[in-house]
A and B are shown apart, each in its own frame.
Chain A
Amino acid sequence: MSTQTATQYCTFWVDDLYFGVNVDEVQEVLLQQPMTPVPRASGAVRGLINLRGQIVTALDLRFRLGLPPRAEVDGEAGGAMNVIVRSRGEVVSLLVDDIGDVIDTGDHGGPGLVPAPSTMPLAVQQVVSGVRQLSDSILLVLDADRAVDEASKPSGENA
């Protein structure tokens, strides 16, 4: 199934951005998990979570998108949800603000994947493979590999 014909997306919000990631790339979605911070790691790495015995790195999409951090609750990033994706043979958790439904874009008609408008912030453009127009909203289609790779780049302040 190519990206063009993929019609099912797991959707989520980061701040007021409405993202979707191809369901084929998503392993599962989890509520907030206990997390172990990794000192000296890139700012995008929020910590490590224990996913049934497997250790999974949690990357904060907010950091990647240049958004302010979530309000802290008890020292943990408050209310962050985990979208567990598979990227290049590894399992990685993307921290997002809220989870939406799995949507079938086939139901919405409209054109397929179109390039992201060039007016979008560069940080956002870098992680999306394009946008899809739905009947009531616009879905930013996340490229999981790119989101993970970009997020793992050491940031200037933490490198």
Chain B
Amino acid sequence: MDDDAEIVAEFLVESHENLDQLDRDLVELEAHPGSRELLSSIFRTIHTIKGTSGFLAFGRLESLTHVGETLLSRLRDGEQAMTGPVTEALLRMVDTTRALLDVIERTGRDQDPSVDVAPVVAEIESLLAGEEQPAAVPVGHAVPVGHAAAADPGLLAAGLPAADPEPTAPVPATGTELDELDELSEELALELTPEVSAEQGPGTAPEDHPIALEEAPTLLPSSLKGLLAPADEDPVEGAAEPGERRTVVEASVRVDVDLLDNLVQLVGELVLTRNQILQRTEGGDDIELVRASQRLDLVASELQESVMKTRMQPIGQVWSKMPRVVRDLAHQLGREVELAMEGHDTELDRSLLEALKGPLTHLVRNSMDHGIEPPWERVAAGKPAKGTLLLRAYHESGQVVVEITDDGKGIDPDKIAAVAVQRGVVTAEQLARMDNRDILGLIFRPGFSTAEQVSNISGRGVGMDVVRTNIERIGGSVDVTSEVGRGTTTRVRIPLTLAIIPALVVGEGTERYAIPQANLVELVRLEGADLERNVERLAGAPALRLRGKLLPLVSLAEALGTDKIDDDALTVVVLQSDDLRFGLCVSEVHDTQEIVVKPIGRQLKNLTMYAGATIMGDGRVALIIDVPGMAHAQGVTASQTESAESHTDGDGGNTTALLVMEVAGGRRAALPLAAVARLEEFAAERIERSGSAEVAQYRDGILPLVRLASVIGLPDTGARTDHVSVVVHEFGEGEEQQAIGIIIDRVLDVVDATVIHSEVGSRIGVTGSAVVQDHVTELVDIEAVVARSGVGA
């Protein structure tokens, strides 16, 4: 019996995979009804299932596939034309076959009464008899779309065999990876079970179904590639390109996922043991032992890397079933939809992939049901009758981003708001404080649904909140942006949990922290004079002047609440996350290394500045900095960055960098940034008098001070506080260099502005005024200020 069970299991896995390919072929076939190649491929698949089911005594499955095969053979031989009803019947046949396979998987037999094959058989038989069958089969007999989708194992999107939803199902690993693994394990004399050995791999699959594997490449010419291109961007890896697929199948082998997980665990242990051995042998006398341990080090690292790679799978595996889902929904809902997919080879850890399946399918359905309008409505709105649904996946900032974009009617915030209040999701009062983005976010609240009519596809009000819950469970986030009449984009972000990422390891205090390299822009080290010249405190907030831009600085030590070691040098890690850019000051930079991101306990989930943790070579744990979280926690906001961005913009244009200051209780004045050497803050008592002039002791010298307000003819109000802000201006060259301090109320900002000079307000000390940041700002005549100080005259 056990042998039988094994054969049945093999048959099920094989058949599920074939059926997924079949789905694509059938949808494709509808677009190209004449394609003999596609028909042959479909015919072969059904034929294979039929043959094996006869052999395994699955009578109902056999009778079902038998009529299907007959119909297909007639289609292939041109004896019957491909019509709408025929396609419907074939798809229904495929769905019923799938349902039967599920039953077999559950019960070991195909006699379960919940799946009724008779109506489908009858339908096909009547088609064979030449009758048209105007939807004679009640919907109840067809397998519901939802079921088909849920029961689907992954399809062959990127040319790799897919994993089943069940965790015990096999996961494909490419032959090369396994070869590599094999070598490595041999070297380590590690006992791997025979299933992973590469030799056995290619042999297993073809044995059972030699026809499908051997004849396909010749029967399916590469011209198909062109036909299939729209559904699958990358023709080299094109999933639907059967010729390619076969070769990949031959180069890969099925491995049980449990086995893989076990391998990952074992490798983890091995790495730790290696580390201990390395520590013991370090500095030892036994050269041979040292050499052997170094070799062990290398091999263990490579083994670890390879094992982790086997867990990565392209997202295309989840997407591959989308063409079918979209096609069915389009028919059901009366929509015309073109599906486009980008970035299907973006790799994700397989556990995340599994978790993503449900939410993605739901979002696609939502877009079709609520987003894309019926053709007549689209035409009336001046849009092409055919809507577009775009799936896009890419890596960004160390995360995987999946976008679902439709060009439908968009989401109207007013409508959402009204419904939310009506359903008691929020109160009108709460609503008043929300911006449009927050309002769109309401669709993720439990108990919310705006479908005017509840359809059986979506709109029961249990959808989006479940999507969000599921995505958040794997540490991801989901947000939605929409433009009324133009379309909606739902963006799902998934963290790197479990993935391997390159990271920069920095030291702070006694601990090390890893920063994802994806966020890293550059490293800057400042010493001595550079440090003084380039780091400014703007109203208390440190900023680095870097190639004409101002970069907000965050101290890692301060962020972590540890003691800051005052140093005469500063190491700045310049980080970028979305549109935020800031500098993180760290004590030490160690090196870059590949780290395995591990989740941290829920006790630490509220600390957004950590993305997880990893284990360093010595077995110690190091925290991984979450760059957006860190920026948020430290108050680096987009607006601060925008001002830095405007510097970027200003580089090429005819703009001037200006220091904008407040003087005389609210008046704005600006100095060219080039005239500013430093910004200082003095305690009021440091201001002394020398004759009638005010001075301060500054850097082993005397700094003459000038009150800007009085120079430009405004009442002086700055002296009433304990501290005064001073702009230090330097002039002259070398030995002759002199400095003055200009007392102002406070520094407001540094901006790059295109100064449109106006003579308005021109007087002594003021060259005129300009509009800076929507405010009239007086432009200070630095020469007049210097003259007033009496220095250098």
Q: Which of B602, B620, B621 has the most CB of A within 10 A?
A: B621
Do residues B613 and A48 form an inter-chain contact, with CB atoms below 8 A? yes
**Count the B residues whose beta carbon is within 8 Å of the partner chain — how many?**
29
A 109-141 to B, binary, CB cutoff 8 A, 1 in contact else 0: 000000000000000000000000000000000
Least CB distance from B269 to A in Å reads 6
Task: Give the distance in Å from the alpha carbon of A57 to the alpha carbon of B613 in the complex.
Answer: 11
User: B665 near A: Cβ within 8 Å?
Assistant: no
B614 to chain A: closest residue by CB: A55
With A37-B511, A39-B562, A75-B510 already in contact, the answer to whether A57 and B619 are too (CB < 8 A) is no
Q: Which A residues are in CB contact (< 8 Å) with B562?
A: 39
Do residues B615 and A53 form an inter-chain contact, with CB atoms below 8 A? yes
Q: Which A residues are in CB contact (< 8 Å) with B622?
A: 36
A 16-37 to B, binary, CB cutoff 8 A, 1 in contact else 0: 0000000000000000001111
Least CB distance from B246 to A in Å reads 38
Q: Which B residues are in CB contact (< 8 Å) with A52?
A: 265, 268-269, 272
Q: Which B residues are in CB contact (< 8 Å) with A38?
A: 604, 607, 610, 623
A 36-73 to B, binary, CB cutoff 8 A, 1 in contact else 0: 11111110110111101111110100000000000000
With A50-B615, A50-B620, A53-B272 already in contact, the answer to whether A39 and B602 are too (CB < 8 A) is no
Q: Which B residues are in CB contact (< 8 Å) with A42?
A: 603
Binds A, one of B100-108, B201-209, B593-601, B691-699: B593-601
**Count the A residues whose beta carbon is within 8 Å of the partner chain — how many?**
29
Do residues A57 and B600 form an inter-chain contact, with CB atoms below 8 A? yes
Q: Which of A52, A55, A56, A57 has the most CB of B within 10 A?
A: A55
Do residues A36 and B623 form an inter-chain contact, with CB atoms below 8 A? yes
Least CB distance from A131 to B in Å reads 27
Do residues A53 and B623 form an inter-chain contact, with CB atoms below 8 A? no
User: A100 near B: Cβ within 8 Å?
Assistant: no
User: B84 near A: Cβ within 8 Å?
Assistant: no
Q: Which A residues are in CB contact (< 8 Å) with B511?
A: 36-37
Do residues B621 and A49 form an inter-chain contact, with CB atoms below 8 A? yes
Within 8 A of A (CB), among B575-612: 598-604, 606-607, 609-610
Task: Give the distance in Å from the alpha carbon of A11 to the alpha carbon of B617 in the complex.
Answer: 34
A37 to chain B: closest residue by CB: B511
Least CB distance from B159 to A in Å reads 32
A53: which of B269, B559, B601 is its contact (CB, 8 Å)? Answer: B269
Least CB distance from B65 to A in Å reads 43
Task: Give the distance in Å from the alpha carbon of A50 to the alpha carbon of B615 in the complex.
Answer: 7
With A53-B268, A75-B510 already in contact, the answer to whether A48 and B623 are too (CB < 8 A) is yes
Least CB distance from A34 to B in Å reads 6
Do residues A55 and B621 form an inter-chain contact, with CB atoms below 8 A? yes
User: B118 near A: Cβ within 8 Å?
Assistant: no
Q: Which A residues are in CB contact (< 8 Å) with B600?
A: 48, 55, 57
Task: Give the distance in Å from the alpha carbon of A59 to the alpha carbon of B598 in the complex.
Answer: 19
Do residues A154 and B606 form an inter-chain contact, with CB atoms below 8 A? yes
Do residues B602 and A40 form an inter-chain contact, with CB atoms below 8 A? no
Do residues A57 and B606 form an inter-chain contact, with CB atoms below 8 A? no
Task: Give the distance in Å from the alpha carbon of A40 to the alpha carbon of B513 in the complex.
Answer: 14
User: B560 near A: Cβ within 8 Å?
Assistant: yes
User: A142 near B: Cβ within 8 Å?
Assistant: no
Q: Which B residues are in CB contact (< 8 Å) with A59?
A: 603
Do residues A90 and B602 form an inter-chain contact, with CB atoms below 8 A? yes
Task: Give the distance in Å from the alpha carbon of A117 to the alpha carbon of B601 in the complex.
Answer: 32
With A48-B613, A53-B268 already in contact, the answer to whether A36 and B561 are too (CB < 8 A) is no
Task: Give the distance in Å from the alpha carbon of A45 to the alpha carbon of B604 in the complex.
Answer: 8
Q: Which B residues are in CB contact (< 8 Å) with A39?
A: 559-562
Least CB distance from A19 to B in Å reads 20
User: A151 near B: Cβ within 8 Å?
Assistant: yes
Task: Give the distance in Å from the alpha carbon of A52 to the alpha carbon of B276 in the complex.
Answer: 13
Q: Which B residues are in CB contact (< 8 Å) with A152?
A: 601-603
Q: Which B residues are in CB contact (< 8 Å) with A151?
A: 603
Least CB distance from B451 to A in Å reads 35
Task: Give the distance in Å from the alpha carbon of A41 to the alpha carbon of B511 in the complex.
Answer: 15
User: A95 near B: Cβ within 8 Å?
Assistant: no
B607: which of A41, A44, A55 is its contact (CB, 8 Å)? Answer: A41
B599: which of A35, A53, A55 is its contact (CB, 8 Å)? Answer: A55
Task: Give the distance in Å from the alpha carbon of A152 to the alpha carbon of B603 in the complex.
Answer: 5
A152 to chain B: closest residue by CB: B603
With A34-B620, A38-B623, A40-B561 already in contact, the answer to whether A53 and B603 are too (CB < 8 A) is no
Q: Which of A37, A49, A56, A75 has the most CB of B within 10 A?
A: A37
Do residues A56 and B601 form an inter-chain contact, with CB atoms below 8 A? yes
Least CB distance from B20 to A in Å reads 32
Task: Give the distance in Å from the alpha carbon of A36 to the alpha carbon of B613 in the complex.
Answer: 10
Task: Give the distance in Å from the alpha carbon of A35 to the alpha carbon of B511 in the complex.
Answer: 10
Task: Give the distance in Å from the alpha carbon of A97 to the alpha carbon of B606 in the complex.
Answer: 28
Q: Which A residues are in CB contact (< 8 Å) with B559?
A: 39-40
Least CB distance from A72 to B in Å reads 13
Least CB distance from A24 to B in Å reads 20
Q: A36-B621, A39-B560, A52-B272 are in contact. List 8 more A-B contacts (CB 8 A).
A: A34-B620, A39-B562, A42-B603, A50-B619, A50-B621, A52-B265, A53-B615, A90-B602
B residues with a Cβ closer than 8 A to A are 265, 268-269, 271-272, 510-511, 559-562, 598-604, 606-607, 609-610, 613, 615, 619-623
| Top 5 closest pairs, chain A to chain B, by CB | A53-B268, A39-B560, A152-B603, A57-B601, A36-B621
Q: List 16 A-B contacts (CB under 8 A).
A: A34-B620, A35-B621, A36-B511, A36-B622, A40-B560, A41-B607, A48-B600, A50-B615, A53-B265, A53-B615, A55-B598, A55-B599, A55-B613, A90-B602, A151-B603, A154-B606
